[in-house]
A and B are shown apart, each in its own frame.
Chain A
Amino acid sequence: DIVLTQSPDSLALSLGERATINCKSSQSILYSSNNKNYLAWYQQRPGQPPKLLFYWSSSRESGVPDRFSASGSGTDFTLTIGSLQAEDVAVYFCQQYYSAPHTFGQGTKLEIK
């Protein structure tokens, strides 16, 4: 199974600060035939289902604010929030859909300091 390890486990920042969340895969999730990384990022606010932020590692889902960005390839991926807003308080997950089981990172809890 592919293991996804997120860092950090939690993050407390002030409004307006930049947040960076990492997701490292135990093996490459880049499919060479189409040059796509099979990784998604999700935001889960308390009491809500996960909301898709990015797919194919860096393709922004419609409606996601552009202060959110994602990058990476192969085994190392990053989600960045450029200027933290109060509504960004949530748990953020990465998920690989390269091979079954479609495993998740353990989640990163983002809070306002």
Chain B
Amino acid sequence: VQLVQSGPELKKPGTTVKISCKASGYSFTEYYMNWVKQAPGKGLEWLGLIDPEDGGETIYSENFQGRVTITADMSTATVYLQLSGLRSEDTAVYYCATPGGPWGQGTQVTVSS
């Protein structure tokens, strides 16, 4: 199983970022996909998940409701995280991860004017 994420992003406050996570080595619809945030020097915060099989059903953290959108493209086995209304507190490394399984390498998102 391998999860490969897109590269670092530098964004201005108020804008939107969309990062990707391409899965390989397993049946893409077999597992949910989580997105997790890790701010500098902080612990891990769960953002949401998607069930690629079940019509792309999603569940989002209440802390990010309304700003986060998770989608999946079954044709390319890729999951996307979109975060809107960016603010400085969103500066973090974002990981995709299968529940109880391996993680992507992380994507650094920096929000700065």
List chain A positions with a Cβ less than 8 A from chain B.
Answer: 38-40, 42, 49-52, 55-56, 93, 95, 97, 100-104, 106-107
Judging by beta carbons under 8 Å apart, are B46 and A104 in contact?
A: yes
Judging by beta carbons under 8 Å apart, are A38 and B100 in contact?
A: yes
Judging by beta carbons under 8 Å apart, are A106 and B43 in contact?
A: yes
What residues of A have a CB within 8 angstroms of the CB of B101 in the complex?
Answer: 40, 52, 55
In which size bucket is the chain B interface?
A: 20 to 34
Judging by beta carbons under 8 Å apart, are A55 and B100 in contact?
A: yes
The answer to whether residues A49 and B105 also contact, given A97-B100, A102-B49 and a CB cut-off of 8 A, is yes
What residues of A have a CB within 8 angstroms of the CB of B100 in the complex?
Answer: 38-40, 52, 55-56, 95, 97
What residues of A have a CB within 8 angstroms of the CB of B106 in the complex?
Answer: 49
Instruction: Let me know if B104 is at the binding interface, CB within 8 A.
Output: yes
Instruction: Let me know if B80 is at the binding interface, CB within 8 A.
Output: no
Instruction: Let me know if B10 is at the binding interface, CB within 8 A.
Output: no
